Structure 1
């Protein structure tokens, strides 16, 4: 029964009186589901928040809860959620900063706009994880700069990841110059206990007193940070760590010679990262198009500034699935016309993924002789029913599922597609979620195991069928039926204890 009540809890048609009854009998899980409803009254919000802290937290993040709705002493996690949203009270932060439970102080440290005295208290917290959380999330450059000299390397790692950290401090974290040596790290904190208590450290974690692993992580975080000066980052091009070079390959602000060197890196992951980099120039893209590894070339095909002639070359060298590539999405009208007329069917397939094609281009692609091109253009809005039927008549099963997703597909067409023999299972799932699907089409979807729960939630199903599905043996089907806005109010009332 719980799954049915969870379905009712999110049903937009559930009468307010039944919402009150659900709240009155709810457990923690059902209360959180109810907290997701839109249109809750102030009384309902307060009733949920007063009884269930999990629901109060969700309501806080949804913007439904106010500081007047909770007692921070009784519901500290809800108070933390409001502080995180910027709607809590400063005195709550002061109380929580002195709370003996470090998990609360750690959550508090991630909140913005905290009072200055609270920030100072958290910066001096005896728990390193609290300080590290503050170092990661503070927006005050002076706080980040001060914590960069913290004796624990984990705090410095958080500072290195924070974009509010001043560039000069990030450079110092990269090299260690100007900072006192760290005195401890998570490895030397935990390593003596690993043999007896189960090690939580990542594979390869090392500390011989120099905090090697964590210092390497500090470098990675600083190189990933866009606030780190490019000149400082570029000095790490020849670093022996693959992870460090991989971070460099992802930066978009380095000199061309750095990228050229990384393009010759023997490690695949580095070259893959480089192929994604929006900062590389055309010459380097042409070089990477000849990379011996298909994964590099596949990543390059998704580059937003890739010259179209290189993309054409790549379609012959690697398999590119039907998807809207960034470079296709930004193509000019003239480029769209050129690609739509390409003798290469893969190029036509890729441009057919756009959903803003001129009518003439769209209709030409809809009549293409290659099924994969037609499959790509089939969901395009504006295609007439006659044209959609012609696509199915010419290519059959390979295009039916995509035709079923077309927003302009008529109820009559959807019914025909749902009754196609043999059944096209992907089409049934698409029909089950199509807003225009008529009852006959939805009924045809119900025998399919994957389409059944989707169809159970469709408001176009006959009410008598929805009532029957609420009692289905499949819990997911029953829950979706209970959430169906076309479920009659009397049936809803019968289900609420």
Structure 2
């Protein structure tokens, strides 16, 4: 199959008779692309679904197939996709609930809105994979029952279920009030005691590195606790008990939990593992006293994570900007800054602070224009995409700092064709600029032709309908498959070229 056919399949200008020809010859890959079209009639949908199961599944999930289009005895996977989309029939669900194929029952268990009798049968299934799949979204009353299931995989699923009763989640976290589990994924397969090696040579092995069981299912218990600690419905008091747990992975989950007492966060701020402290620094519930402790923490990623705290005092943010490599994100505290704080940040002596406020896209015109005249390249990179900047502003930035700001200037929604053409004349070190120009709605034909000379921008530019027909005909034969696909999907491609691509 010509790879360009995948692009042609989604071309909105593809004539109706050519759509039919593609459908009649489509394999699974091409049929799945054709399923993305918005102009498929009911007859075409049925034909496409009959030709390819993957396409039929996609159409089912998109709500484009109906129950009368599918025979569950012939196309069980498609019928299950319809059940998953809420368009299947109750009798299908009852049939799949007793299907001899466990994989079908697993897929059924993941479907929403199943009849109560089907849910009951799945909850009693002998295959723990079916029950575990059901447990992920089980309602509260069923979650309480399944938390006592003898297999740890089912309990792990309940531990991550946010509708499970809080007292059930607390019991899964500590094990208190529950009978010990009888089986786990390790002792299902191996004679215990067993520890799964990280360099296991077996290609068919489904165990994870470090999975272990000595009869107490230790790695599975760890997984259950991790899920429960990550679940916002688990009671805070139970979560706080794990602040001193020997496992750093579990302490990370405690550090991420919002709504704990501040003394717990203070203890975690002294944790010996930097990853735990960095997770704590991301937590918006951490109070100012702990924030100030963390602001002095030189552990890996702690200060950078703390910069995203929404309630930082500006003096803390200023100190972080000077001492930490923050990158160039728009920080929550900068978003929340008052007009007076915005003005102060925009005139700060430290260019990093000016850069941080320049990332906002709602600045008053006067502040925006003042930042557009800044002499620091990182400030200009931050302000360059801001709407409302004039052509003169953007050209001056490029003339002042060239490749360092070019790509950001190209993302400005108000960049004119003159600015974009000027950017194509930047030196080779500004290659990223071509990708941005190729996407820009104001790009002129000369600018797009220049983008075709860049290997990374070429696939993007090939999709622009402004390109001449002759250029597109050449592009559908390009050696780069991405370029061929984009050109074949271009609505400006001549019909004669479309026909030439067909088998």
The correspondence for 1:384, drawn from 364, 368, 390, is 390
Contact between 1:418 and 1:441, CA under 8 Å: does it hold in 2?
yes
Q: Describe the shift of the 1:222–1:436 C-alpha distance in structure 2 as closer, same or farther (beyond 3 A).
A: same
Deviation at 1:490?
A: 2.9
Residues 1:488 and 2:485 aligned together: no
- Compute the TM-score of the two structures, normalised by the length of structure 1: 0.96
1:326-345 maps to which residues of 2 (within 5 A)? Answer: 326-345=332-351
**In the alignment, which residue of structure 1 is the partner of 2:11?**
11
Residues 1:235 and 2:241 aligned together: yes
Comparing 100-109 with 60-69, which one deviates more in the overlay?
Answer: 60-69
Count of matched residue positions in the alignment of Structure 1 and Structure 2: 496
Q: Describe the shift of the 1:55–1:408 C-alpha distance in structure 2 as closer, same or farther (beyond 3 A).
A: same
**In the alignment, which residue of structure 1 is the partner of 2:48?**
48
Contact between 2:2 and 2:501, CA under 8 Å: does it hold in 1?
no
List per-residue Cα deviations over 1:111-166 (Å, max 9, x = no partner).
1111111111111111111111111122x111111111111111111111111111
Deviation at 1:326?
A: 2.3
Residues 1:160 and 2:159 aligned together: yes
Distance in 1 between the 2:354 and 2:377 partners?
Answer: 11
Contact between 1:301 and 1:311, CA under 8 Å: does it hold in 2?
yes
Distance in 1 between the 2:69 and 2:310 partners?
Answer: 48
Contact between 1:328 and 1:351, CA under 8 Å: does it hold in 2?
yes
Contact between 1:111 and 1:137, CA under 8 Å: does it hold in 2?
no
Distance in 2 between the 1:209 and 1:424 partners?
Answer: 60
Residue 191 of structure 1 aligns to a residue whose secondary structure is coil
Residue 233 of structure 2 aligns to a residue whose secondary structure is coil
**In the alignment, which residue of structure 1 is the partner of 2:461?**
455
**In the alignment, which residue of structure 2 is the partner of 1:318?**
324
Let me know the Cα RMSD of the aligned residues: 1.7
Contact between 2:9 and 2:34, CA under 8 Å: does it hold in 1?
yes
Deviation at 1:102?
A: 1.0
Deviation at 1:423?
A: 6.6
Deviation at 1:294?
A: 4.1
Residues 1:178 and 2:184 aligned together: no
List per-residue Cα deviations over 1:13-32 (Å, max 9, x = no partner).
22222211111110000000
Residue 6 of structure 1 aligns to a residue whose secondary structure is helix
Distance in 2 between the 1:277 and 1:470 partners?
Answer: 50
Deviation at 1:305?
A: 2.5
User: Could you say which structure has the higher helix fraction?
Assistant: 1
**In the alignment, which residue of structure 2 is the partner of 1:57?**
57
Distance in 2 between the 1:6 and 1:188 partners?
Answer: 46
- Compute the TM-score of the two structures, normalised by the length of structure 2: 0.95
Contact between 1:48 and 1:55, CA under 8 Å: does it hold in 2?
yes
List per-residue Cα deviations over 1:37-59 (Å, max 9, x = no partner).
22322222111112211111111
Residues 1:399 and 2:405 aligned together: yes
Deviation at 1:290?
A: 0.6
Contact between 1:109 and 1:137, CA under 8 Å: does it hold in 2?
no
Residue 415 of structure 2 aligns to a residue whose secondary structure is coil
Residue 420 of structure 1 aligns to a residue whose secondary structure is coil
Distance in 1 between the 2:130 and 2:369 partners?
Answer: 60
**In the alignment, which residue of structure 2 is the partner of 1:366?**
372
1:139-150 maps to which residues of 2 (within 5 A)? Answer: 140-150=139-149
1:286-305 maps to which residues of 2 (within 5 A)? Answer: 286-305=292-311
Distance in 1 between the 2:115 and 2:428 partners?
Answer: 67
